[in-house]
Amino acid sequence: MLAHRAGAVLLAVALLTGCGPRPGTGSSPAPPGSSPATSPAAATSAPAPAGSPSPGRSTAPPTPAPVPSPPPSATADLGDPASLAVVVNKRRPLEPRDWAPRDLEQVEGRRLRPEAARAARELLAAARADGVRIVLVSGYRSYDEQAATYAGWVAQQGQAAADTASARPGHSEHQTGLAVDVGEGSGCDLQVCFADTAAAAWVADHAAEHGFVVRYPRGAQAVTGYWYEPWHLRYLGAQRARELVHSGAATLEEFSGLPPAPDYAPVR
């Protein structure tokens, strides 16, 4: 009888001093986003999250959180010239270099790929509805046309200066049929002073609504390889353009997870 009483006393002392299992350890579901325990010891030493069920009370197994689908930017083919997501710069030439789009449409005298052409018409109409005059200054340029354009810059300013203002053939966004230069029909078209026009302000605020972004923003030359060009718009598609704007990335390179392309790779 004394042995039984001693055993009961010891059991009561153990319960009062907390030697039994603690609430919220071992069987409690992990809070959302937490890492799984790596060992039983780690699982039993962690403090209980707020609202953990009491020991001994049955709980339903936690419902796994749905795995979100990756955004289009994560699965885009950045090297396919036919893709709206293609990234062309000084370190990423088109492959093949003389690639040309299959179809082009005329938009006020300029040629663009059909999807970019439709968006350009909508952009022009929206700007004019807001009382802002915007015209298309240039659109698609073939490999040969880009070679002539680049050679003209080299002849005027030398190759080093030309490389800050014009792409070498095979490295130009205009060759994709997805790039357009806009202006207002004044002496500031394709000039730095275009930045101070109503047209430049409008495209900076509204181009993404129509699937375009300003491709070479101010202060990003170390990434894009080009001086600020508020007139050069690149068509990405409405969803991808919105993603870029909301991401906070300043350039298409950063948004696409690509390294800077300030200059051309050395010729081997």
Residue 176, φ and ψ in degrees, nearest 5: -80, -20
User: How many C-beta atoms lie closer than 10 Å to residue 9's C-beta?
Assistant: 10
Which of 105, 173, 184, 229 is labelled catalytic?
Answer: 229
C-beta of residue 233 within 8 angstroms of C-beta of residue 180: yes
Catalytic, 229? Answer: yes
Which DSSP string do the residues of 2-39 spell out, in sequence order? HHHHHHHHHHHHHHHTT-SPPTTSSSSPPPTTPPPPSS
State how far the Cα of 201 lies from the Cα of 40, in Å rounded to an integer. 60
Edge to edge, the sheet with strand 229-235 lists 135-138, 179-183, 229-235, 212-216
61: CB partners within 8 A, 6+ apart:
29
Q: Is 202 exposed, middle or buried (0-12, 13-18, 19+ CB in 10 A)?
A: buried
Residues belonging to the active site: 229
